[in-house]
């Protein structure tokens, strides 16, 4: 139990560091390698394609980072619950959360009572609950887009710079084993090998974020949290899927879809408890 907790705490420190490093590397590769090489046009200082791709990339990145920041800025803690419940060593609850009443959970990593806790997100080092679920979903969508966009430009860069043809679908599958071999034989440079590795990182993160986002949207539409699902609590939906979605995304959801701005009409602690009692 203690070792497991230590592992989770370590992960909570490593995952944000991994996120920042991957973001910095992606930014550097785009502006130092991809965009200047792929869209270079002899005789023209800055081509319109360079501007277009710079704008698309910056827009996706801004949304991913903006929603990441919002997820951390608006945590879902409960201001009224100051007492930290003490778990006995043989507490039956999951290692990271202690279940309280009315959809409240005590997160053992955040050491706070969280309202409508969904799960603890290691990349943001925060719990995802009623207030930041929307930003978290938008963060997943834009991270997925940024990664897949980087993958496309990365493939274009390898084609332009190293004349690797991706016409054969098998090229992508054999790229990693071949590059690893070539790198250790000294045939290709470290940079080339690193680029190939990054292609797989972007593909992996892009697909995982997209899948995760779909799962979260489905849960939100059903008015459920991941915590409840894990506990086997099938909550009867309090409203239609439209109501459930607007509960999380707010009425100005369309604006929030395009820009990382605050759109959720957050219920105050008091209102939340009143509506909880009405339903009980």
Site for Zn ion contains 196 (CB under 5 A): no
Q: Is 239 exposed, middle or buried (0-12, 13-18, 19+ CB in 10 A)?
A: exposed
The residue annotated as part of the active site, out of 121, 145, 147, 213, is 121
Which letter, b or e, does each residue of 73-92 get, where b requires 16 or more Cβ atoms within 10 Å of its Cβ? ebbbbbeebeeeeeeeeeee
The answer to whether the CB of 71 falls within 8 A of the CB of 135 is yes
Residue 154, sorted as left (phi over 0), alpha (psi -120 to 50) or beta, turns out to be alpha
Which value, in Å, is the radius of gyration of the alpha carbons in the chain?
Answer: 22
What distance in Å separates the CA atoms of residue 215 and residue 196, rounded to the nearest whole number? Answer: 29
The least CB distance from residue 76 to Zn ion, in Å, is: 9
The least CB distance from residue 72 to Zn ion, in Å, is: 12
Place of tokens 């607007």: 246
C-alpha angle with apex 47: 44 to 53, nearest 5 degrees?
155
Report the residue number, 127 or 138, with the smaller CB distance to Zn ion.
Answer: 127
The least CB distance from residue 188 to Zn ion, in Å, is: 43
Residue 86, sorted as left (phi over 0), alpha (psi -120 to 50) or beta, turns out to be beta
> Which token pair is 2?
């203690």
The least CB distance from residue 127 to Zn ion, in Å, is: 3
The dihedrals phi and psi of 103, each to the nearest 5 degrees, come to 70, 15
The least CB distance from residue 79 to Zn ion, in Å, is: 16
Total residues in contact with Zn ion, by rule CB under 5 A: 5
Residues 80-109 that bind Zn ion (CB under 5 A): 107, 109
In terms of Cα–Cα distance, which of 22, 118, 130, 139 is closest to 69? 139
H helices of 31-86, where? 35-38, 48-73
The least CB distance from residue 113 to Zn ion, in Å, is: 10
The dihedrals phi and psi of 111, each to the nearest 5 degrees, come to 55, 45
- Whether 145 sits among the annotated catalytic residues: the reply is no
Residues 105-144 that bind Zn ion (CB under 5 A): 107, 109-110, 120, 127
Report the residue number, 11 or 175, with the smaller CB distance to Zn ion.
Answer: 11
Q: Which residues are catalytic?
A: 121
Q: What is the contact surface with Zn ion in residues (CB under 5 A)?
A: 107, 109-110, 120, 127
């Amino acid at each position: 139990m203690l070792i497991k907790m230590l592992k989770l705490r370590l992960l909570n420190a490593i995952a944000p560091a991994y996120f920042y490093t991957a973001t910095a590397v992606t930014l550097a590769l785009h502006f130092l390698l991809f965009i200047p090489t792929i869209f270079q046009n002899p005789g023209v200082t800055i081509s319109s394609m360079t501007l277009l791709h710079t704008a698309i990339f910056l827009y996706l990145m801004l949304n991913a980072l903006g929603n990441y920041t919002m997820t951390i800025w608006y945590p879902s803690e409960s201001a009224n619950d100051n007492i930290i419940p003490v778990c006995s060593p043989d507490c039956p609850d999951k290692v990271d959360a202690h279940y309280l009443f009315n959809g409240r959970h005590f997160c053992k990593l955040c050491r706070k009572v969280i309202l409508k806790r969904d799960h603890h997100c290691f990349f943001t080092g925060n719990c995802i609950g009623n207030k930041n679920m929307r930003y978290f979903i938008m963060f997943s969508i834009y991270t997925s887009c940024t990664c897949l966009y980087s993958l496309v430009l990365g493939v274009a860069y390898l084609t332009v710079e190293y004349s690797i043809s991706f016409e054969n679908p098998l090229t992508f599958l054999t790229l990693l084993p071949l590059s690893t071999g070539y790198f250790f034989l000294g045939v290709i440079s470290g940079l080339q090998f690193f680029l190939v590795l990054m292609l797989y990182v972007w593909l992996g993160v892009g697909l995982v974020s997209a899948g995760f986002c779909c799962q979260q949207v489905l849960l939100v539409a059903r008015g459920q949290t991941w915590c409840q699902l894990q506990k086997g609590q099938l909550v009867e939906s309090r409203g239609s899927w439209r109501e459930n979605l607007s509960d999380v995304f707010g009425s100005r959801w369309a604006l929030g879809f395009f820009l990382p701005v605050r759109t959720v009409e957050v219920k105050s602690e008091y209102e939340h408890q009143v509506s909880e009692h009405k339903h009980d």
